[in-house]
Amino acid sequence: MQQIIECVPNFSEGRDMNIIKQITDEIEAVEGVRLLNVDPGKATNRTVVTFVGNPVSVVEAAFRAIKKAGEVIDMSKHKGEHPRMGATDVCPLIPVANISMEETAKYAQQLAQKVGEELWVPVYLYESAQPNKERSNLSVIRAGEYEGFFKKIKQPEWKPDFGPVEFDAKRGATVIGARDFLVAYNVNLNTTSTRRANAIAFDVREAGRNVMENGAKVNKPGSLKFAKAIGWYIEEYGIAQISINLTNINVTPVHIAFDEVCKKADARGVRVTGSELVGLIPLQAMLDAGTYFLKKQKRSTGVSEKELIKIAVKSLGLDELGPFKPEEKIIEYMLHDKADSKLVSMTLADFADETASESPAPGGGSISAYVGALGVSLGTMVANLSSHKRGWDDRWEEFSNWAEKGQQYKDQLLQLVDMDTKAFNHIMAAMGLPKSTEEEKATRTEAINAATKFAIEVPFKVMQAAYNSMEVIKTMAEIGNPNSVSDAGVGALCARTAVMGAFMNVRINAAGFDDKTFVDDIITKGKEIENKTIALETEIVGIVNSKIGL
C-alpha cells in the first residue's frame, strides 16, 4: 500500500504571485507529488502551500521549493503581520496513509540535513522530528523572529541542528519538522447564538474554560483531547457552528468529536444538524467513521469502501451545506491515477468487450484475478447476509469480521486485475527498447528481465490471494446463512478457477525467464497452492452439496 505524506511549507511572500508561482512550479515539476492548495495572504505577506505524495518525492519537492524560495525572496526587505524567521519559514511533514510518525520524522530529518548541508541554510528541527524536547516548540524556536536571530543563533543553546551558525540576511533560517495531520472541522447547530455555540465549544475543547471554585479561578478541561474549538455565527448559512481543529485524529477522530458535540449540545438544548470539512481528510479517517457508525447500529462493517464513505457522510451530515464529493475531499482520491484502475472502472459490458477485442490485454491473468474477486465477493455476501439474519443478532459481529476479511481479499484481487495488464504492458515496452548498440542491448535485456519477473510475480499473487480467500468461502459454507450456501459453492468454483488460471500465466511467463532458481522455486510453490486449492474446493463443494441435499 502506498505511503503518503503531506507537506505544508509556509513561504514569506504573500503579495507577488509571480514569486509564489516560481516556488510552486518547482513542486509541480516533481513526479509523485500533487499540489493541492496555494493560499497567499497579503496582510501576513505569507503563503501556505499544501502538497502530498510518496515520501521520497515529497522530500525532493520540498527541497526544490526551499531552494527556489531562498533565491527569489529577500528577507531583509520582508514585512508582514505573521511571525517569521526565513524565506521558507516552516516546513512540516505530516503522515497521511500507511506511514508512522516515526518514519515521517526521519524523512523530515533527512530533508533538514539536505537543506543545511547543500543549501547552507540554518535549519532547526521541531515537534516529532526534534529529539531535544526543550527546543521542539515552533513558537519557542521562532521567538525573536528574523530581526532577533542574528544574535540568537550565536547562543550555544540555539545552534542550528543543521547548516551554518551564521544567520543568512537574505534567506534567514528554516524550521523543518514532523507533526500530526490537522483536520479543520465545523459542526452545524440549529441556533444563531454565538454565545451558546461558544459554551458548547468550551465544553469539548481540551483547554476547557476557567471557572470559580472556592473563590479561586481554576481551569476545567474540556472532554476532547487534541481539540481546539470556538463558537461562531456564519452569516452565509444563517447558523452558528462549532469550529474545531483536531490536531491528532488518532486520539480524537472526527466521528468521536461529532458525537461528543452532539452530546454536549443536547445537554444545552441545542441540536446538531450536520457538519462540514474545511480542506482535506485522509481516507482512513472516513473509513473509520463509517465503521464506527455501522458498529453503533450493530450492522456488518464488511462493506465496500464506497459504502463506508457513504455511511460516514450521512452519519456526520457532511452534505448538509452542500454536496460532499469524496474525489475532492479525500487526499488519496485526489492522488489517484485513473490509469491504475482502468479495467475495474469499466462497466461489465465494456470489460467483456475489451477482453474480446483484438488487444492481447486484458488476458487470462486479469480475468483470473477478476474471477477470484467475484468468488470472494460471493463469500462476503453470505457473511453480510448472515450478520443481518433475523434471530442471529448475537452473532452479527462474528459474521461482520468475516465480511471485513472478504472485502480485503476482494480489494486485493481487484487491484491485481489492472496490475496484471500493466505487467504485460511493461514487457511490451521493454521489448520495444532500442538495441542498436551493445549498451542499448544490455539495457533492453535488463528491462525485459525485470518486466518478465514482475509478470510472473503478479499472477502468483493472484494465486495466493484467491487461495487464501477460500478460508472465508469455506467458513460461510459451514456456518453461514443456509439459504445462501449455493453462493458459497459458486464462490469456491470461482476461487479454484482463479488459482488455476493464474498458475497458467505464471508458467507461461516463467518459460522464457533466465533465472532458473527463481523459476523452480515459484513453480514449486505454485503447484503446492494449486493442489491445496483443488482439495479445498472439493471439500467446500461437498459441504454445499450435503446441505442442498438434492
Residues 379-391: tens digit of each pLDDT: 999 999 999 999 9
| Res 76: pLDDT | 92
User: At CB < 8 A and 24+ separation, what contacts does 262-268 make?
Assistant: 264/200, 264/203, 264/204, 264/223, 265/189, 265/200, 268/196, 268/199, 268/200, 268/203
Q: What is the pLDDT of residues 484-528, one digit of tens each?
A: 999 999 999 999 999 999 999 999 999 988 899 999 999 999 999
| Res 184: pLDDT | 83
Over range 164-185, report the average pLDDT: 92
Strand partners, 37: 50
Q: Contact 4/96 with Cβ under 8 angstroms?
A: yes
Expressed in angstroms, the distance from the first to the final Cα of the chain is 45
Q: What is the pLDDT of residues 47-97, one digit of tens each?
A: 889 999 999 999 999 999 999 999 999 999 988 767 789 999 999 999 988
Contacts of 452 (CB under 8 A, 6+ apart): 427, 509, 512, 513
CA–CA dist 300, 280 (Å, integer): 27
Judged by DSSP in three states, 94 sits in: strand
Over range 88-108, report the average pLDDT: 94
Judged by DSSP in three states, 218 sits in: strand
420 tagged catalytic: yes
Within 10 Å of residue 105's Cβ, how many Cβ atoms? 21
Asked if pLDDT for residue 340 goes beyond 80, the answer is: no
460 pLDDT band (50/70/90 cuts)?
very high
- The H or E element spanning position 188 is strand 183-189
CA–CA dist 181, 288 (Å, integer): 15
255 tagged catalytic: no
Q: Which of 82, 319, 340, 388 is catalytic?
A: 82
Report which of 504, 538, 296, 507 is spatially closest to residue 400, judged by C-alpha positions. Answer: 296
Cis status of the peptide bond prior to 434, with omega within 30 of 0: no
Q: What is the pLDDT of residues 207-223, one digit of tens each?
A: 999 888 888 888 999 99
Domains of the chain (ranges, CATH numbers): 4-178 (3.30.990.10), 183-335 (3.30.70.670), 338-548 (1.20.120.680)
Greatest alpha-carbon span in the chain: 91
Over range 328-332, report the average pLDDT: 86
Read off the C-alpha cell for 138: 515552533
Q: Contact 257/185 with Cβ under 8 angstroms?
A: yes
b/e map 47-81, b = 16+ CB within 10 Å: bbbbbbbbbebbbbbbbbbbbbbbebbebeebebe
Asked if pLDDT for residue 133 goes beyond 70, the answer is: yes
Higher pLDDT, 537 or 362: 537
CA–CA dist 514, 511 (Å, integer): 9
Asked if pLDDT for residue 44 goes beyond 80, the answer is: no
CA–CA dist 369, 415 (Å, integer): 9
The torsion of the CA quartet 143, 131, 52, 313, rounded to 10 degrees, works out to: -90
Q: Which of 161, 288, 418, 420 is catalytic?
A: 420
Strand partners, 168: 172
Within 10 Å of residue 181's Cβ, how many Cβ atoms? 22
| Helices 283-296 + 254-267 axis angle, to 10 | 50
Report which of 245, 243, 278 is spatially closest to residue 37, judged by C-alpha positions. Answer: 278
46 pLDDT band (50/70/90 cuts)?
confident
163 pLDDT band (50/70/90 cuts)?
very high
Share of the chain above pLDDT 70, in %: 100
Strand partners, 189: 272
| Res 499: pLDDT | 98
CA–CA dist 31, 21 (Å, integer): 18
Mean of per-residue pLDDT scores for the chain:
93
287 pLDDT band (50/70/90 cuts)?
very high
CA–CA dist 199, 218 (Å, integer): 17
b/e map 460-490, b = 16+ CB within 10 Å: bbbbbbbbbbbbbbbbbbeebbeebbbbbbb
Pairing mode of beta strands 239-246, 174-178: unpaired
| Res 1: pLDDT | 67
